A = this chain, B = another copy of it.
Amino acid sequence: MKLDRFDKAILDILQTDGHISNQALAEQIGLSPAPCLRRVKALEQAGLITGYQALVDAKKLGLTLMALIGISMDQHTPERFANFETSIVTIPEVLECLLITGQQSDYLLKVVIRDMDDYQHLLLHKITKIAGVTGVHTSFVLRNVIARARLPIP
């Protein structure tokens, strides 16, 4: 699927405001509502738009701590990795889990927790309990300079 300027504008706007009405969206990109809606549906159908979500303020939920946790595994086998990944997705505090190169760590996790007690519990009773996890290195986030940024539309 190739995108013209209308499609790109739609993606750009919907990443910023996923609740904009179709009429307002149509006006912003310079089309009438009917074709605008068709394009949005087509982008959803094509899998370019994978969903919509509300953005929630972590601090107002009491989730004031964010940490990055580097994880080292004992063996670099597909089985070890697969097992780790199926375990880690069940922990709701883990917002992100990336398999990475260029570090001592194999995985980098981003977690949000209420406080140090919760962090300790998460680390000692959940993460280090997963088979194969040998090393853990945590960085705490002091400031979130850019969050929830939108993808650049090429």
Contact = CB atoms under 8 A, between A and B. Distances in A.
- Complex copy number for this chain: 2
B11 A54 contact: yes
Contacts of A62: 154
Contacts of A144: 97-99
Interface string A86-99: 00110011111111
Contacts of A147: 96
Given A139-B108, A141-B98, A56 B49 contact: yes
Interface in A17-69: 17-19, 46-58, 60-63, 66, 68
A118 to B, nearest CB: 9
7 contacts: A14-B56, A17-B51, A48-B56, A50-B56, A63-B154, A88-B145, A89-B146
Interface of A: 1, 11, 14-19, 46-58, 60-63, 66, 68, 85, 88-89, 92-103, 107-108, 112, 114, 137-154
